[in-house]
Amino acid sequence: MKKKSLTKLHWLYFSIIVCVMVVVDQLTKWLATLYLKNSEGVVWIKGVFELQYHENRGAAFSSLQGKGVLLVCGTIVILALVLYSYHKIPRETRYVPLRIIFAMLTAGAIGNMVDRIMNGYVVDFLYFSLINFPIFNIADCYVTVSVILFAIYAFFIYKEDELDFLFTLKKKKVENESSDE
């Protein structure tokens, strides 16, 4: 298969994964709004886990309250960096998990950005009452899990030089063997 069609195939898979994950995120937020808004919530495991409707007008842990425009702009910059980095991932099977991690991160960022643009806030509804953890949503899970997985792969799976492509701005020059002749 030609390199160009292989690249298109990678982008197609990436796009499908991102779209499916964003749809799942938006669907769960819609259901939360439909069934949880203006209610006391739903206890799934008493004292451990609940579904509660919450409108977060900030970022993680309700930081940057009321800074929606800044958060949208920041998300666009982060998405540009993620997409640029995704493009640089080698087309080898060994890097498939990294491609999935980047798709998951992208879906999480887009899912919450859609809420900020459409509503002016992000719908959160998952609450671990056992540890009084801040209420969060599926997109937050995508971002958190992708960052944790990236750290695991970066520190324990890939060798030190296998992620160099992420940290270099210029392409490696391929030495021309025929120049020796």
Q: Beta strands 49-56 and 122-128: pairing type?
A: antiparallel
CA distance 154 to 156: 6
H helix and E strand count, the chain: 5, 3
Q: Reply yes or no on whether 161 is catalytic.
A: no
Nearest to 137 by CA among 56, 71, 76, 70: 56
Which residue in 25, 124, 161, 180 is the catalytic one? 124
Q: Where are the beta strands (DSSP E) in 14-107?
A: 42-45, 49-56
Which residue do the tokens 């998300």 mark?
A: 75
Residues in the chain: 181
Which residues fall within 8 angstroms of residue 177, CB to CB, at 6 or more apart?
none
Q: Reply yes or no on whether 124 is catalytic.
A: yes
Which residue in 25, 115, 140, 180 is the catalytic one? 140
Burial 110-147 (b: 16+ CB within 10 A, else e): bbbbbbbeeeebbbbbbbebeeeeebbbbbbebbeebe
Residues catalogued as catalytic: 124, 140
